Structure 1
């Protein structure tokens, strides 16, 4: 039985993936990928929410706290 996994190549070096290290071809490529994650090369973009004075984020469509709208009748 071959140690090469069928399917996609290693995402780091594009060689055929090896079953013990799948989806990578070797421990080296696994370590390269881990280093990229830990050093911030791979980052998921996020939108930062605005925070109120207590440091709590409010939903964008929520009315401001402590204020009533004219529709409340007060």
Structure 2
């Protein structure tokens, strides 16, 4: 089996990767959304907008 990041042979300790570096590269792609699957469903866009608004409200409490 080859590493999905660099195509080298995998190492049992890091499987399915060849090294901690490639495992970290993969994790970074997940965290940044590089593996996201695009959707054209309007409900998905509305749900994403609602989530962004909710998170923004949590990060920036109202100023009085």
TM range (shorter): 0.5 to 0.7
How many angstroms apart in 1 are the aligned matches of 2:4 and 2:36? 16
Q: Which runs of 4+ in 1 moved over 6 A?
A: none
Equivalenced residues, count: 44
TM-score normalized by the length of structure 2: 0.59
**Greater relative contact order (Cα < 8 A, sep 6+):** 2
Task: Name the structure with the higher helix share.
Answer: 2
- Aligned equivalent of 1:48: 41
Partner Cα separation in structure 2 for residue 45 and residue 38 of structure 1: 16
2:5 is matched with which residue? 12
Equivalent of residue 34 in structure 1, options 19, 27, 30: 27
What's the C-alpha RMSD, in Å, of the aligned pairs? 1.7
Question: What residue ranges of structure 1 are gaps of 5+ in the alignment?
Answer: 1-7, 56-74
What's the TM-score once normalised by structure 1's chain length? 0.52
Pick the structure with greater CA Rg.
Answer: 1
